[in-house]
Structure 1
């Protein structure tokens, strides 16, 4: 967010770049909104610092923040920077992205040609199919902003699959974000999406996207949202006191980023980025990361925050119905270790690993519900000896000034190690997956044995392939009223001994073409309001 960097000096840029390079990040996407007052002063400083550090930048033109960018203004910035030595290139072209702006798609026909641009916009408001049509197909690839789950669900990959399906081999920029909470009335924003295990889940999903057999995968890029967007709580960069203007301009009830570091989320980035890029990675130092909110979800009920947001045509919930009152932890290890958690000195029962890597080498992840108040201590031990410890901020029973933001801490294990998983990503299979609604059981069974179609299921864990149950010879089909999305799963599952009558049968029947995707979350189809709002609500609720 260049707007948040208005007071950055060259040294500030260099410090951030140094941290990004340590995390194996290749470039900063520079989000710039039209008429942002510091563009003229910040961009020269940023590019100069990047050039000095051997780092890259690229533009992400924000068409939503202050309105659409005029074509001539974009042209001027590209003329000045697209050929810069520190501008990120892809296949010899200067990569440019956007945040929205599909109504300006035609501008990019000339802009691409004039400045040798590889254009990969975020036009998520349209979806992948319609986005690819804009400007006569001007997009060379697409970036999605769908980085957060709906309601009380964990993150799925249906939107990713939709993009990959329609892109049909064109590059996809996959979004990965650890968190989302904002309460900035000045920007008409006050909602959260579930964070919880999101940071772990999305990196697993990024690796699986590389191997899914039912799609032409070209997940060429991952964009982390974000480095320094403090007002939406998904920053992974360092805290800068001089970069907090959003809380004043946005009239926030507090600076909910203050004293809430997220640096720990960078600790394992070199490992997961290497897995994504090369399919394998080496552990040279073990470590532990832990994160949690500082109060129970129901404690901030008076702040007006919602889980989900009607501004995105989503059904809204009370926040405590969406977020989980848990302490989350991940560890990068070469052999298993024991995790334990205390709050106020009281052990939290049930702290354990939900996911363990094959060969015991890789990232372990888990969580524990918290109860009570006081300082949080997360400890990693082997053979009864502590090897890493995170001492975290205290959990309080009342709503804190951090509201629904996360506190993140990390610790490294002393001594160096050298170990890699025995199997590369390309030789692994899905061993744990799920699906929404009626797909949950089908995906849960099939994904365990490596058949986890990304168009219908979400893989939650990869590892050494599990031997399939013997084939039965039973040919399965979707039952009446279902779509082709069930076909592959019914065929596989019924042939391997799991043929649930609520989804599959052994008689082929005509398939239904649904008018709404089987994988879309629930949406409002009817509603009303009181008094003068009755008619307005009746009309708008019909459309979500």
Structure 2
């Protein structure tokens, strides 16, 4: 079997846009993962807008997930045209862009496949926006270790990739290998670091593991909302640093003086493809403001983390996006349409700044964010042969909210006629939640000294907690507002 056989990979190779402010910089970075296959309808204006939006919200670059499809190649050429000056570059901030190559699914790779990966490196190694570490091209993967043994796949990466990229094309290789970290000694000479892709979600938290941990409270998973004790047990798995520490410790088995650890952060995960399609139908629990928790964890452990990758900018099929819903969606994806997530992007700058600088920035603008799923977790969809997603029992029928306040204020959340929760909040960041009401929407206001500061009200046409859905959708609808009137 070929040493690069039976893998699916994603290799970060080069930058194509923006100013290279952090080339060879030893400082920390925040990048966002972009599925280029979802961008093939993009124009230069779409890319310009996305780059500007990301830069304005604290993101230093895009990890471009480029696959072998014609659409991906078209998008790559479009980006090249942008970089060659066919349109003005963004003026706000500077964006480091990373290229990524990905193939989803085990296939038999030949030398020509390895050549494709090397070509991505050599094509952009000297580009002024290529991210370099110690003068080497930064490269990463999504998987790439699914061979007969660690030794076999390492020989393949060595002979077909690492050893053939020298001089200005030499790579600083930080892969996300989904293999036992105890085997990292086998990777010596291949890896310069590691990327913990699945660290952004509590992937090991399942109904079975929760019932085991909760013991006598296991039956409470069927409730629409949970007790504080049950929430505490579930939250102990959300946003933790435990898997990160495992990956970091495993790097001790890899030689080198400048090893890189890249961590992931993600706001959500839900996918709902039938067996006849991608056969993916599950969720990872991110209730109780899991995006905020994960960021706080990474910030408190920033001395051990070099790069944070937001997973993702635009993976609509897995509901993990923070960018605008635009471009294209994978065939059969319906759960992202109309489900805005840019509120999560708007709060990202606060956390990204804290990660990069080591200090949380002052809150200079009042903001209010809230999100919820579109139907009760136990609702019976009337026209969905795929069924509810695995682990849906872990979720709650709750509205989640976060207030960013410059001074103490009063926040009122409403989830139905006569159903309002009013809370006095201090200056800073405050998390709030309340049960949803079937058949109703959601809204919120912030007041200070009796005067209105802002309000969020998406309206029934945008969001209603529907007790009778046609299909299952455990994606989140995110709404937000700022004191200057920006709403979504």
TM bucket normalised to smaller: 0.7 to 0.9
CA shift in 2, pair 1:207/1:394, >3 Å:
same
Q: TM-score, normalised by structure 1?
A: 0.66
Superposition deviation, residue 48 in structure 1: 4.3
SS of 1:374's equivalent in the other structure is coil
CA RMSD of superposed structures (Å): 2.5
Superposition deviation, residue 275 in structure 1: 0.7
Matched pairs, number: 383
Q: Does 1:71 pair with 2:163?
A: no
Superposition deviation, residue 100 in structure 1: 0.4
Matched-pair contact (CA < 8 Å) for 1:293–1:325: yes
Matched-pair contact (CA < 8 Å) for 1:96–1:120: yes
Q: How does 1:302-321 map to 2 (within 5 A)?
A: 303-307=386-390, 317=391, 319=392, 321=393
Q: Distance in 1 between matches of 2:83 and 2:378?
A: 44
SS of 2:484's equivalent in the other structure is coil
Post-superposition Cα deviations, 1:232-284, rounded to whole Å, max 9, x if no partner, equal: 001101111x412x0x2xx35xx111111101101122211111111122323
Post-superposition Cα deviations, 1:184-210, rounded to whole Å, max 9, x if no partner, equal: 221111111112221111111111113
CA shift in 2, pair 1:164/1:345, >3 Å:
same
Q: Does 1:57 pair with 2:149?
A: no
Higher relative contact order (CA 8 A, sep 6+): 2
Of 161, 175, 183, which aligns to 2:264?
A: 175
Structure 1 partner of 2:286: 195
SS of 1:268's equivalent in the other structure is helix
Q: Distance in 1 between matches of 2:136 and 2:408?
A: 45
Post-superposition Cα deviations, 1:349-379, rounded to whole Å, max 9, x if no partner, equal: 5x659xx8xxx54322121122332221022
Q: How does 1:146-295 map to 2 (within 5 A)?
A: 146=198, 147-149=200-202, 150-151=205-206, 153-154=234-235, 155=238, 156-168=240-252, 170-185=259-274, 186-196=277-287, 197-210=289-302, 217-240=303-326, 242-244=327-329, 246=330, 248=331, 251-252=332-333, 255-280=334-359, 281-295=361-375
Structure 1 partner of 2:31: none
Superposition deviation, residue 336 in structure 1: 2.7
Gaps of 5+ in 2: 1-34, 146-152, 211-233, 253-257
Q: Does 1:398 pair with 2:468?
A: yes
Structure 2 partner of 1:435: none
Structure 2 partner of 1:536: none
Post-superposition Cα deviations, 1:380-403, rounded to whole Å, max 9, x if no partner, equal: 222333312111322111225571
Post-superposition Cα deviations, 1:127-175, rounded to whole Å, max 9, x if no partner, equal: 43324632x3411111112221123633132101111222358321111
SS of 1:30's equivalent in the other structure is strand
Matched-pair contact (CA < 8 Å) for 2:270–2:318: yes
Of 96, 104, 113, which aligns to 2:166?
A: 113
Q: How does 1:18-57 map to 2 (within 5 A)?
A: 18-33=52-67, 35-49=68-82, 52-53=89-90, 54-57=94-97
Structure 2 partner of 1:144: 196
Post-superposition Cα deviations, 1:318-363, rounded to whole Å, max 9, x if no partner, equal: x1x21111111112222232222112333245x659xx8xxx5432
Q: Distance in 2 between matches of 1:87 and 1:66?
A: 29
Structure 1 partner of 2:401: 329
